[in-house]
Amino acid sequence: MKTNLLDFNLDQLTQHFAAMGEKPFRAKQVMRWMHQMAQSDFDAMTDIAKSLRAKLHETAEVRVPALMMGQESGDGTRKWLLDVGTGNGVETVFIPENERGTLCVSSQVGCALECTFCSTGRQGFNRNLSTAEIIGQLWWANKALGVTPKEERVVSNVVMMGMGEPLANYDNVVSALNIMLDDHAYGLSRRRVTVSTSGLVPQMDRLREDCPVALAVSLHAPNDALRDVIVPINKKYPLKELMAACQRYLERAPRDFVTFEYVMLDGINDRPEHARQLIELVRDVPCKFNLIPFNPFPNSGYGRSSNNAIHIFRELLQEAGLVVTVRKTRGDDIDAACGQLAGQVQDKTRRQAKWTQIIEEGKQ
């Protein structure tokens, strides 16, 4: 089987080429062709020696996930379902705004963490994505959006907030991050690349050392009792440990704050007492809050908080001196909004079957 060069960051590609008897600058050339020009045909890499091109034809390829389906929302949001083999597909979402273009990238086929309000979590889990399958989403988006080398890139920001828990696929995600940041590839700023986590504390500490980018934490609850229910990983890494990890991360982070994502669930976590508990929880953590109106999906069991409840919640946080935004829902008409990504998952956990049974029993 041919080696997929998209699996390699620059250091790895340099080592791979050295084993072929090639000089380091060849790796930089190929990186630029693959990522800056979205080129997968070695013959089109015209400044590379014919002898190397011949070697690459025999042993290597630039293989990205194939397109299964593409959709465009009325607000300009675009979603692609990409084929990652054996009946599995992952979703990637591009959100255009006046000042930037943000690509939401998936890291796993499904998710193993079972956050109860998340459509991806309900789909179960199949496997981690490879580096090529992660970076291939950015490669595909640039290609699909028609970017040429002379143009300013349409994708200016990347958020690892698609399907899966990025830090549960640590090595492949960090390798992909290194490609995103590399000037010979996409050249993105560390401030413009965000990793979202539900709170895997040991991996947060590793990321702080290995590749500190902007950090978002899926918080969603102000106390351990509630978070244990809706974000079950909290039972392993409770809030006190998570807040301490956030403080440690900020020592190396490119931004001087952590973003706390907080999905607003009607009657569950959106009351004034919850806001007051949050204020106390984050007292020593420089942060901003991103309040996310819940995006319903079939049989979720949750409702979206009312606009009034969200307004009161935001006011309480702001009165305490916290920076708060309410995320504008984008792409919900094509199920591309936060928490709605489901993809196509051949579930190995039987979670889909479990939820179907729970729903059917509830109807009786």
Tokens for 82, please give them: 């990409």
User: What are the phi and psi torsion angles at 104 (to 5°)?
Assistant: -95, 115
User: Is 101 one of the annotated binding-site residues?
Assistant: no
The closest of 135, 169, 91 to 345, measured between CA atoms, is: 91
In this structure, what token pair is assigned to residue 245?
């990890």
211 in catalytic set: no
Of 104, 246, 287, 338, which one is the catalytic site residue?
A: 338
Is 74 known as a binding-site position?
Answer: no
Here the tokens at position 86 are 């054996």
196 is in an annotated binding site: yes
Task: Give the 3-state secondary structure of residue 268.
Answer: coil
Which position among 22, 91, 114, 261 bears the catalytic label? 91
Tell me: is residue 287 an annotated ligand-binding position.
no
For residue 307, CA distances in Å to 102, 278, 292, 303, 312 come to: 26, 19, 11, 12, 9
- Is 246 labelled as part of a ligand binding site? no
**Closest to 291 in 3D by CA, of 267, 273, 315:** 315
Alpha-carbon Rg for the chain, nearest whole angstrom, is: 21
How far CA 290 is from CA of 85, 154, 161, 313, 346, in Å, comes to 34, 24, 13, 12, 32
Task: Tell me: is residue 311 an annotated ligand-binding position.
Answer: no
Number of other CB atoms surrounding residue 315 within 10 Å: 13
Alpha carbons 6 and 117: distance in angstroms, whole number? 33
- Say if CB 330 and CB 293 are below 8 A apart: no
Find out whether 156 is annotated in a ligand binding site: no
Q: Is 165 flagged in the annotation as binding?
A: yes
Q: Are 292 and 338 in contact (CB under 8 A)?
A: yes
Active site residue 61: no
- Given a contact cutoff of 8 angstroms between Cβ atoms, the answer to whether 193 and 181 are in contact is yes
Q: How far apart are CA 313 and CA 249, in angstroms?
A: 27
The strand ranges marked E within the chain are 3-4, 60-61, 66-72, 78-83, 89-96, 101-104, 108-110, 125-128, 157-160, 193-197, 214-218, 258-264, 287-293, 323-326
278 is known to lie in a ligand binding site? no
Residue numbers in the known binding site for [4Fe-4S] cluster are 111, 115, 118
Residue numbers in the known binding site for S-adenosyl-L-methionine are 164-165, 196, 218-220, 295
Which positions are annotated as active-site residues? 91, 338
Residue numbers in the known binding site are 111, 115, 118, 164-165, 196, 218-220, 295
